[in-house]
Amino acid sequence: MTRFGAQRSSRLNTAIVSATLSVLLGGSLLAAQPAQAQTYTIVHNFTGYPNDGAQPNGELIEDAAGNFYGTTIQGGTDNLGTVFKLDPSGIVTILYNFTDGSDGGEPEGGLFRDTDGALYGTTSIGGTYALGTVFKLDTSSVLTTLYSFRGGTDGARPAFRMVSVNGELYGTTLNGGDSNCAANLGCGTIFKITKGGEKAILHRFNPHVEGSYPQALIRDSAGNLYGAANSEGDIANDCIYTCGTVFKLDTAGVFTVLLLFPGYGKGAYPVGRLIRDDVNGSLHGATPYNGPSGSPVGSIFDLDTSGKLTVMHYFWGGQSGGFPNAGVLDLGGVLYGTTLEGGDENCHWGSGGDQGVTCGVLYQIGKTGQYTVLHRFAGAASGDGAWPGYPGTGELTLGADGSVYGVTPYGGTGTCNSGSNRPSGCGTLFKYTP
């Protein structure tokens, strides 16, 4: 589905199979109770090639008229991904079909919408060097490739939504940059690009001290950037190099590691977008692992301005969910998020060693720390979504109507067959109204 880095994909698949099967037996004893009044709704079922997208991903964005915009990794006329619009009546329109030519393909990171209505985004493949692009899609659905990544000391394979600072766009690539990562693919970069296509690499990650495979960026009111970086190595080998980092890139271009994750029950391999408390400056985020085998299967953490790390919630799998692979959404101090695993134990998929892998949950963490499962995804067999939080897909969005919107890359009523190692279905767009 994605080009998320061979090391991370291998680590994810291994950990899901081994840890999920163990916690499903006992994790239900710790499962949080679902909310009393379910207000979960599927807004759209993706149907895939050739008339609709498939495997929606990234964060949705909303305009003033209540239209939502997003991307899908597959589907469309060439089955290489789309840009879509969902109007307030629930009708989906495909705005662009990617071809994996100079326009790129498999957009993974979602979109940024400018004040003039133009959409900016990235593709993980294609372009001049087949290593991804930055593109602009105007209001007439004309796509312009602003930049093609070259690999090597340049970036390669952008996979997260860009952010805007003073009219310029900032983003990350999973590969490219420093050559010290496996297969000389590079450990990732932070880049800046103007809306006219002028690009600069602001930082190349050194895996030994800074982590690798940088995730999505956020910004504060002063324009400083924050993010998390994953890591080389295997969780079973006690975090080779590092267990991941939280970092800051200030407006002067100075890069600082704010936290080296320790593993051993305190978090490892952070994923997705951080959120920042504008009042006290603390950062919240998610880790799908916590250290060597036997630890909980994920956590939500808080990092204060002094560098103190606090685990706000541990995930233990089973019906209460496990392996969060996306950040959290903060609504007035109440956190919302998804997990890749756990939930409905009747939602089984896969074959052989993958049997029993479940479909994930939508959860809430209250102001006092109370954890509540809001929805257990039931998968395609029940017409529901599956696997929210597959790397790059699980970030949630607050709609103007007060509902929480998100996507699942699998499940739904579409007939996409994802193979024995992934759930079936083309994916869904859902909302939850608190």
Q: pLDDT of 337-367, one tens digit each?
A: 999 999 888 886 655 444 457 899 999 999 9
Residue 36 sits in which domain range?
Answer: 6-432
For residue 313, is it within any domain?
Answer: yes
For residue 264, is it within any domain?
Answer: yes
Question: For the chain (length 434 residues), average pLDDT per consecutive 10?
Answer: 35 36 34 57 97 93 97 97 97 98 95 97 97 98 98 93 96 86 76 97 91 94 95 56 89 96 84 92 92 74 96 92 94 94 80 64 96 95 91 87 96 83 91 94
For residue 1, is it within any domain?
Answer: no
Q: Which pLDDT score is estimated for 358?
A: 86
For residue 316, is it within any domain?
Answer: yes
Q: Is 160 exposed, middle or buried (0-12, 13-18, 19+ CB in 10 A)?
A: buried
For residue 194, is it within any domain?
Answer: yes
For residue 228, is it within any domain?
Answer: yes
Q: pLDDT of 59-77, one tens digit each?
A: 899 999 999 999 999 999 9
pTM of the model: 0.89
For residue 28, is it within any domain?
Answer: yes
Our count of domains for the chain comes to 1
Per residue, the 3-state secondary structure of 281-304, as one string, reads CCEEEEECECCCCCCCCCEEEEEC
For residue 234, is it within any domain?
Answer: yes
Q: Which pLDDT score is estimated for 31?
A: 41
CATH number of residue 274's parent domain: 2.120.10.30
